[in-house]
Amino acid sequence: MGIQRDRGAAAVEMAILTPLLLLIVFGILDFGLLLNAQIGVTEAAREGARAATIDVSNSTAAQDRVSLINPDYTVDTGASTKCSATSTPGSNAIVVVKYRHTWLTPIGGLISLLGGDSYKDYADLTGKGVMPCRA
pLDDT recorded at residue 122: 85
Residue-wise pLDDT tens for the chain (135 aa)? Answer: 555 667 788 888 888 888 888 888 888 999 999 999 999 999 999 999 999 998 888 888 999 999 999 999 999 989 888 888 887 888 999 999 999 998 888 776 766 666 666 667 788 999 999 999 886
> Do the Cβ atoms of 64 and 82 come closer than 8 Å?
no
pTM for the model: 0.79
Length reported for the chain: 135
